[in-house]
Amino acid sequence: MNLSTTTPALETRGLTIRFGGHVAVNDVSCRFTPGTLTAIVGPNGAGKTTYFNLVSGQLRATAGQVLVDGQDITGLPPSARTRRGLGRAFQLTNLFPQLTALENVRLAVQSRADAGWSLFKVWNSRRDLIEKAEAVLERVRLADKRHVAPKALSHGDQRKLEVALIIAMEPKVFMFDEPTAGMSVDEVPTVLELIHDIKQRGDATVLLVEHKMDVVRSLADRIIVLHNGTLVADGEPAEVIASPVVQEAYLGLEAARA
Ligand SMILES: Nc1ncnc2c1ncn2[C@@H]1O[C@H](COP(=O)(O)OP(=O)(O)OP(=O)(O)O)[C@@H](O)[C@H]1O
């Protein structure tokens, strides 16, 4: 397949943001193709989360563009970007704490239905919405917790619920920022399997910010490396991990910390 002729699901061109004199993301141009899971790595403060915030619209770029399916969405607010197919894993603060896990997922399913084919109101019957939400909870292995409020869930189950919400919204581009952060060792595999499953089904484009190199190795088709806001490496995992710039900029620091 000639990737250069495939319209990327997501592209950034010269994406830049300055905070005062500090350039947190510096001229990052990158294309993300459907069916590919790209890990974004780099040391603390490299600009990974800021890059995500620029893509999802939480931050406005100082310069550069964000394109979804070839269309410029740089001027759009986060909600409009979501409707164009950008899905960023929710943080718990985005959930309705007084509602159950099932009701939260149902709202996510409904938002997708409302944004989708207005001619087909099939999902707008309450039963259909609930059935779909239940299927999503089943998929993330939270079916038995469907009547529990998010704040009463364990930390690991809360992260699974975040994955359920993004699955329910059926985005073209899935964005995960350290999805296993703070999880216990035995909870990590479930979330990794879920992300692997998202990648295997259909032609989702997945972006994953992740510090743990074993997670990156097991999931990524491609790694890009940010360092001081600049994209310094981009390629197949084995090649990128072995490159001197990564050994020095990232893995070297990890080794030094260990
Ligand atoms: N709103 C802001 N105002 C000022 N500086 C900011 C702001 N957001 C981020 N920065 C700075 O931008 C740089 C990049 O931060 P960012 O959080 O994107 O790094 P990161 O690669 O995600 O780091 P980590 O791995 O620690 O999460 C840091 O120097 C940070 O202090």
Q: What is the ipTM of this complex?
A: 0.96
Q: How far is the CA of 44 from the centre of ligand 1 (A)?
A: 8
Ligand 1: nearest atom to the Cα of 229: 14
Q: Does 44 or 258 have the greater pLDDT score?
A: 44
Give the residue-averaged pLDDT of 8-16: 97
Q: How far is the CA of 16 from the centre of ligand 1 (A)?
A: 13
The yes-or-no verdict on residue 79 having pLDDT over 50 is yes
Fold of the domain built from segment(s) 1-85+172-187+202-258? Rossmann fold (3.40.50)
Ligand 1: nearest atom to the Cα of 42: 21
Give the residue-averaged pLDDT of 146-153: 92
118-122, 133-137, 220-224, 236-240: lowest mean pLDDT where?
118-122
Q: How far is the CA of 47 from the centre of ligand 1 (A)?
A: 5
- Partners of 66 in the beta sheet? 12
DSSP SS3 for 88: strand
The yes-or-no verdict on residue 181 having pLDDT over 50 is yes
The yes-or-no verdict on residue 254 having pLDDT over 60 is no
Ligand 1: nearest atom to the Cα of 47: 18
Ligand 1: nearest atom to the Cα of 53: 18
- Ligand 1 environment, Cβ below 6 A: 19, 24, 42, 44-50
Q: Which residues of the chain form CATH 3.40.50.300? A: 1-85+172-187+202-258
Give the residue-averaged pLDDT of 143-166: 91
